[in-house]
Amino acid sequence: MEKRDIPFIQFQNIMKSFGKNNVLVGVSLDIPYGERFGIIGVSGSGKSTLLNILIGFIRADQGAVYYNMRDILREKKEVRRTFGFAAQDGSFYSDLTVMENLHYFGTLYGMSKVDIEKRARGLLALVGLTKAMGILGKNLSRGMQKRLDIACAMIHEPKVLILDEPTEDLDPILRKDILLLIKKINERGTTIIITSHLLSEIEVTCTKIAILHEGKIIETGTPADLKGRYYHNDEVHVETMPGNYEKIVKKMRKTYVEEVDLQENKMVIRTPNVDGVLHTLFKAVTASKEKIIDIDVRKPTLEEVFTALTRGKTV
For 194, phi and psi rounded to 5 degrees? -125, 135
**Residue 139: DSSP 8-state:** G
pLDDT at 123: 94
pTM of the model: 0.80
Distance CA(45)–CA(47), nearest Å, equals: 6
Confidence of residue 4 (pLDDT cuts 50, 70, 90): low
The mean predicted confidence, pLDDT, of the chain is: 90
Stated length of the chain: 315
Q: At what angle do helices 172-187 and 142-154 cross, to 10 degrees?
A: 20
Give the mean model confidence (pLDDT) for residues 280-297.
93
Confidence of residue 304 (pLDDT cuts 50, 70, 90): confident
Give the mean model confidence (pLDDT) for residues 172-179.
90
Does residue 100 have a pLDDT over 90?
A: yes
Does residue 314 have a pLDDT over 50?
A: no
Give the mean model confidence (pLDDT) for residues 186-215.
93
Q: Which domains does the chain have, with CATH numbers?
A: 9-228 (3.40.50.300), 232-298 (3.30.70.980)
Q: At what angle do helices 98-108 and 142-154 cross, to 10 degrees?
A: 30
Answer yes or no: are the C-beta atoms of 18 and 189 closer than 8 Å: no
198: buried, middle or exposed (CB in 10 Å: 19+, 13-18, 0-12)? middle
pLDDT at 312: 58
DSSP string over 169-204: T--HHHHHHHHHHHHHHHHTT-EEEEEES-HHHHHH
213-266 pLDDT, tens per residue?
989 999 999 998 888 776 778 889 999 999 999 999 988 877 788 888 888 789
pLDDT at 87: 87
The region that residue 148 occupies, defined by phi over 0 for left and psi between -120 and 50 for alpha, beta otherwise, is alpha
